[in-house]
Amino acid sequence: MGYVTQEYDMQDSETRRRVFWLLKRLTSYSLWAKKRDAWEVFTNAFENAVGTWPKNDPERMDADLLPGIYETLSLYKKGVEELGKGHRFVWRTGQPLDVAMDKSGTVRNFLYTHPDYWERGAQTAPYPDKVEALNRLLLAS
The answer to whether residue 57 is domain-embedded is yes
Judging by beta carbons within 10 Å of its beta carbon (0-12, 13-18, 19+), is residue 51 exposed, middle or buried?
Answer: exposed
Q: What is the pLDDT of residue 36?
A: 94
Distance of CA 3 to the CA centre of its chain: 25
Whether 123 has a pLDDT exceeding 90, the answer reads no
> What pLDDT digit, counting tens, does each position of 68-119 carry?
999 999 999 999 999 889 887 887 888 888 899 899 999 998 888 888 888 8
Q: What is the pTM of this model?
A: 0.81
For residue 134, pLDDT over 80 is answered with yes
Q: What pLDDT score does 38 carry?
A: 96
Domain housing 55: 28-140
Share of the chain above pLDDT 90, in %: 37
Residue 19 lies inside a defined structural domain of this protein: no
Domain-located, residue 108: yes
pLDDT at 100: 92
- Residue 109 falls within a domain, yes or no? yes
Q: Is residue 13 part of a domain?
A: no
- Mean residue pLDDT of the chain comes to 87
Asked if residue 58 belongs to a domain, the reply is: yes
Mean pLDDT, residues 22-37: 86
Rounded Cα gap, residues 31 and 115, in angstroms: 35
Q: How many domains does the chain have?
A: 1
